[in-house]
Structure 1
């Protein structure tokens, strides 16, 4: 059965012809789809969709298959090295057999291990015996059971043998998986190959016919391989997809023909193609290439659809002429697109392109495949690994790299050759791709360039980050251009080395450091710090000063900016200014994911020992990096450091009310507490990164924020203490200024949402919670319940007293909270109000005190709403200890305030 919409469907070859149409149908049905293909672009140009994920990779590689099947319910296996007879011929068939069978074996093994429930295999009409398909003047209607006529089976070539072998192999897995086998017969339509030598007869004929019309009188012939008497049936792609969906939704475990029962000669197909392209067949000569008789396939074949009609209630509905006309329109659009580029491409004009379209190609996979080379000659001083698709754009680049290594040795006091120098990659600016290393590296690491952890990714940044520890990594001007790959999809599955920035990098640094010590070098490692900035607004007036910060000579700093608005028009400007810097990495989320997700992505990108989280709208002090280094060197075993986040003067009633509500108390906690801080806000927070604790920001908190910073700090602190290190320390000299949100405009929504989020801490940290008297939100909730009950009673004709009691209670709650805050801020705790800068006096100060109640109650309201949304009713009345037990008397004071408000509420209610 087709899985539910939440179940994941894997479509291998999902960017190919049939696969892309099936993917499109799944998406229309609301399914979640993962595509794995060796090409990056779908033949249908599918629009980005949150239910669609696309991975580029070669299924002949087992790790690609293992990754592809993770979490998958159903596999539709369309991936294959295939095409028309221009590809599937004697010179290629063994190579095709090996590739296709390897893909299937790898995928089936991975699927079995991952618990995949359903597996659909795209088989072929080539499984049928050639002996049945030799008649030249009659239709040969092939039934599913004809495979086994006159055993042993003799399918058409090794391509057909591989398909049949896989069918038999899958039959052995029917106990473990729900197997479906579709035998496709000559499917055609938009999105298929049409000009690369892999096209089948319908597309080839339509391309030739269209070219014939475009050339007008310059061409009046159509090429046909063979004598044109071969008979075939052809199936429209939409009918094919209908059958695939029905097959998946059926209980049929036997192979099923998916094709048309109506056959036609190839000559007649050419006539239909000409008419579809707007050409009169009587005005065209036909050139029969009888010398290519080995490339025409069997003499006669069409599908017998009786079994499909019986078990699937399916049969083709689209006439050949209708489908051919639609396909002709699509092929003409592709040809027109190509013609627009012809005069700008060297060696090809409009006329030469159309002339090429009149004939079909023969593909030799052995000679036409890309070639790769890695040269590691003995006796070389420098080594660089390049693919066959790079272009070096500058002369004398070797001399420049030699000078760069000499400069590193002179400036850093290391032996000549100790370091890594990278090209400027124009296709992935700022990324140290194609680094050059000295033969000294081989001496240090025993002839190993990079550890075995690396497959085909991350080796370049590993080398760069390895030598960064001594300031011996640099990127210089000589430019290189990667024709395929870079930051985009490559021709292969990018297999990353998991967690190389921890133990792998640490071990490499240890080996290099030991070698330096043995050579008598006194050079010390630099402190490494990565700044992580999630940014939705991409405000350059704030980002530029951060990127201009200067570190000390003993500190190496990189900045990672995660853009959370992929449609921001400012991204291009930011990249233009800073993308070329090797110490700046700009990454763009595919969609808005929130600050926590962006910080996690930044952590995944980070390679330094320490990370500094900054908000994207803060103003930094010029000495921020120097003071951060000082703090870290003072307590090198700390879990992290909490910096000071100031706000501008609170000269408006609302901004003063925010301070008075207590919402900003922890923003400058580093100036208030001396050691073992319970947590800090991520607007200015330093955390240790080299301890592999797998701690990330919990995405269970709201994207708008609230509680995730506390949760992160508590987990970091616990992991640090468990490793024998220390907790968080204050860093009062690491200072930033955070602007008022929305310019100080009045809005309670932020504090309401913060409350929703931080209320989730109660369940996560029961050891840091306590019972309290009802707060304003809990009392209001009781009032609402009381009033609703009163309405119900009142509508029955009884007294409305209960309803009005609820209203009186609500009025008492608001009044009590306001009166109590006036009492606290104007008399009992008057001295505490001096912790922030403001010029408010008199009635404006009183108004700020009154409004602070509303801010606090909005936060408490959000907290209760969050508890109710999470169905944590039992947690009502419980509070999270913001100080995590570090401040004596904090809980007592909070409980005292709650008790006083409840008593005041009852007192006011008594007079109503």
Structure 2
């Protein structure tokens, strides 16, 4: 066997430790002359360990770490990262199926571009099985999964399939200041590595493919976008160089109106009807603005997809609002985060199709109410 020239640590945090996912990842085809070490960190002390996984751990084929309590994805990934010493670290999720040649593709990338700080692989989803799943694609929620097909390099990647160079990582770790349930900590981790390496983006590898299932088979659930909104409310606070301020979104605008309600009721009760008209108008303006933007993107819409599209956006933005007000960070209202890793100094206000339509409707509403 040729002399080993490179070592790669594969870090997989898991709660379920499902053998149908974990074992195929362990048994992926491996290039000769390369050393691969698995660090599977189980964030569930009550987990049932499959016999084959237990056997592989016992003979040292994998490193199985079981947390004493549910510590969250950040702590679990940090444990795997710190347990190893490989030159490169590949992060995979515990619910993906990988292309059999995945490790070969990463090996070729390291050999060809050894000076890169990391590589972003491609995460493929099956065709959307439901209207809710189609809406997730239309609203851009899954953009980062497919970024390897859209750009040659990007500022951060999904932990479902991204590799980083240990030397580039340095002392950066997944922050435990984000909610334990997840959201924002992956963006934080990869951007901080990037910032410590002269703001160099990660090279994308569309040939390095894993396949991710739809959560719950595509069944409608707004918990995930709401949770991501909460987690992402921390990003502008923790990495302020990428924070900017924008016009209030719909939940923020309605929240500000609710704050004004007691004063209106006490000092100007005659305007309560106007207040109610504004509240309803702002809430309803979300529908045509969201759908007009989707139509501009030439998205294929039917009634069910349109319905989910509106409420996915509201769920995320409500989570963003709640994440700020729950920790009394009212300065976070209107704060946004630049996900492409472009610093904006003191920030600025942006217009796009969605906002132009929405604020035009606001102006028409004001005209009808006050004139």
1:782 counterpart residue number = 256
What secondary structure does 2:163 align onto?
strand
Number of the residue aligned with 1:567: 46
Match of 1:755 in 2: 229
The question of 1:716 aligning with 2:193 is answered yes
2:332 matched to 1:864?
A: no
Q: What TM-score, normalized by structure 1, do the two folds share? A: 0.38
Counterpart of 1:679 (choices 139, 152, 156) is 156
In structure 2, the CA distance between the partners of 1:730 and 1:565, relative to structure 1 (3 Å rule), is: same
Q: What is the distance in 2 between the residues matched to 1:808 and 1:577?
A: 66
- The answer to whether the 8 A contact 2:135-2:309 is kept is yes
Name the counterpart of 2:297.
Answer: 829
Q: How does 1:747-896 map to 2 (within 5 A)?
A: 747-790=221-264, 792-793=265-266, 799=269, 801-802=271-272, 804-826=273-295, 828-830=296-298, 833=299, 845-885=302-342, 895=352
Partner of 1:526: 5
CA distance in 1, matches of 2:212, 2:278: 39
Following TM superposition, by how much is the alpha carbon of 1:527 offset from its aligned partner in structure 2, in angstroms? 1.9
Between the aligned partners of 1:745 and 1:528, the Cα distance in structure 2 is 40
2:165 — aligned with what?
688
Alignment partner of 2:228: what SS?
Answer: helix
**1-side partners of 2:276 and 2:217: how far apart?**
36
CA 1:559–1:773 in 2, change beyond 3 Å: closer, same or farther? same
- Offset from partner CA, 1:245-280 (integer Å, 9 cap, x none): xxxxxxxxxxxxxxxxxxxxxxxxxxxxxxxxxxxx
Q: CA RMSD in A?
A: 2.5
Take 1:562 and 1:639, find their aligned partners in 2: how far apart are those partners?
24
- State the 1:565 CA deviation: 0.7
Q: Does residue 1:637 correspond to 2:77, yes or no?
A: no
Aligned 1:655-666 pairs, distance under 5 A: 655-666=133-144
SS in 2 for 1:551: coil
Structure 1 residue 607, shift from structure 2 partner = 1.6
Cα distance change, pair 787–526 in 1 and its aligned pair in 2 (3 A): same
The secondary structure found in structure 1 opposite 2:16 is coil
Pick closer, same or farther for the CA change 1:909–1:661 going to 2, 3 Å.
Answer: farther
Cα displacement (A) at 1:805: 3.8
Q: For the structure 1 residues 753 and 805, does the alpha-carbon distance in structure 2 shift closer, same or farther, using more than 3 Å as the test?
A: farther
- The offset of 1:620, in angstroms, is 1.0
Cα separation, 1, equivalents of 2:366 and 2:21: 51
Q: Structure 2 matches for 1:186-205, cutoff 5 A?
A: none
Q: Aligned with 1:631: secondary structure?
A: helix
> Are 1:549 and 2:6 an aligned pair?
no
- The SS at the match of 2:198 is helix
Aligned to 1:220: none
Structure 1 residues 602 and 894: alpha-carbon distance in aligned structure 2, compared to 1, 3 A threshold: farther
Distance 1:633 1:814 in 2: 54
In structure 2, relative to structure 1, the CA distance for the partners of 1:533 and 1:527 (3 Å cut) is same
Change (3 A) 1:866 1:632: same
Alignment coverage as a number of residue pairs: 366
Deviation at 1:778, TM superposition (A): 1.2
Change (3 A) 1:602 1:864: same
2:48 maps to 1:582: no
Residues 178-577 of structure 1: pairs in structure 2 closer than 5 A: 411-412=1-2, 470=3, 525-568=4-47, 570-573=48-51, 575-577=53-55
Instruction: State the alpha-carbon separation in 2 of the partners of residues 526 and 876 from structure 1.
Output: 50
Pick the aligned partner of 2:130 from 621, 643, 652: 652
C-alpha distance 908-846 of structure 1, shift in aligned 2 (>3 A): farther
Unaligned runs of 5+ in 2: none
Which structure is larger by alpha-carbon Rg, 1 or 2?
A: 1
TM-score of the aligned structures, taking structure 2 as reference length: 0.90
Aligned to 2:213: 739
Residue 900 of structure 1 deviates from its aligned partner by 3.2
Name the SS for the 2:204 alignment partner. strand
User: Does the CA contact (< 8 Å) of 2:292 and 2:354 recur in 1?
Assistant: no
**Counterpart in 1 of 2:99?**
621
Deviation at 1:596, TM superposition (A): 0.7
Shift of 1:850: 2.9
3-state DSSP class of the match of 2:126?
Answer: coil
Distance 1:759 1:591 in 2: 26
Query: In 2, are the aligned partners of 1:608 and 1:690 still within 8 Å (CA)?
Result: no
Runs of 5+ unmatched residues, structure 1: 1-410, 413-469, 471-524, 834-840
- Alpha-carbon displacement from aligned partner over 1:38-61 (angstroms, at most 9, x marks no partner): xxxxxxxxxxxxxxxxxxxxxxxx
Q: Deviations over 1:296-317 (max 9, x none)?
A: xxxxxxxxxxxxxxxxxxxxxx
What is the CA–CA distance in structure 2 between the aligned matches of 1:564 and 1:766, rounded to whole Å?
31
Any idea what SS the aligned residue of 1:579 has?
Answer: helix
Q: Is 1:596 aligned to 2:74, yes or no?
A: yes
1: distance between equivalents of 2:17 and 2:253?
42
Instruction: Write the distance in 1 (CA, Å) between the matches of 2:306 and 2:59.
Output: 49
- Compared CA separation, residues 735 and 596, structure 1 to 2 (3 A): same
**One of 350, 358, 367 as aligned partner of 1:901:** 358
Residues 64-143 of structure 1: matches in 2 within 5 Å? none
